[in-house]
Amino acid sequence: MTRMSPEEPEGRLQAGAEAAVRVSESPERAAQLAEQKALADLAARCLAGDGEAWEQLARTQHRRIYGICYRFTGSQSDAEDQTQEVFLKMYKNLSSFDPTKGGFTTWLTTLTRNLLVDNYRRSRLERASDSLDETVGGEDDGPSKAERLVDSGRSQEQHVAGLELKAQIQAALAQVSPDLREAVILRDLEDMDYKDIAEILGVPQGTVKSRISRGRSELARLLKRIEGQVM
């Protein structure tokens, strides 16, 4: 019988634990981590004065940031202006990004959200909040983001089809209170997890979950009222 050194069992336990971590890490999570590392590397190159890195970083983030701005403002021209403001602010504040404290996507979304909230507080206007025609994942035949906001437990026959449905959701979402609206947008339209949303909004995860639940309920109530007016 082969005898093991005292260190060998501990080494095997450590190797087993590391293997378990590798197995438990889903391909999706691994892809997310790889993406955040690539963005952090781009940010470091930008700070080192790499002009091509700046162009690449702006190009990869533009569509997502424009989408967030449009959902909050409901105006293409306002979204374009605020997207430019976001990238100017990113340029000026990139040195504050610390990859040891979180991913680049969370950092940039926080910066975007703060700018939008500041602009909202200055204007005090309630506006429409979503690009409802965009499909999830960018697939032509995929479900629209409008459909993501409709209660999946309700039959499609209960809603006005096509563009009318999207118009109803846009009108309802515009009436949802800002704190609840932004939580619903980040969760249901941006697919962000509770931890990242909590970091962006600066509130506990429990508050995030509460706002999302209340926001969905308020949206459903408003949709029901609009439905009744249309019928």
Q: Report which of 206, 58, 181 is spatially closest to residue 116, judged by C-alpha positions.
A: 181
Q: What are the E-state strand segments in the chain?
A: none
Angle at Cα 137 formed by Cα 224 and Cα 148, nearest 5°?
10
Matching CATH number, 32-127, of 1.10.1740.10, 1.10.1060.10, 3.90.1150.10, 3.20.20.70? 1.10.1740.10
Helix, strand, or coil (residue 135): strand
Which of 161-170, 172-181, 205-214 holds the top average pLDDT?
Answer: 205-214
Task: Look at domain 131-231 and name its CATH class.
Answer: mainly alpha
Instruction: Over range 77-105, report the average pLDDT.
Output: 92
Residue 142 DSSP label: S
Q: Report which of 64, 112, 52 is spatially closest to residue 88, judged by C-alpha positions.
A: 112
Spell out the domain ranges in the chain.
32-127, 131-231
Helix, strand, or coil (residue 133): coil
Q: 17 pLDDT exceeds 90?
A: no
| pLDDT 10s digits, 101-120 | 889 999 999 999 889 888 87
Residue 133, C-beta contacts closer than 8 angstroms, at least 6 positions apart: 144, 146, 166
Q: Judge whether 32-127 and 131-231 match in fold.
A: no
Instruction: Over range 155-173, report the average pLDDT.
Output: 62
Question: Is this structure's pTM higher than 0.85?
Answer: no
Cα separation, 181 vs 197, in Å, equals 13
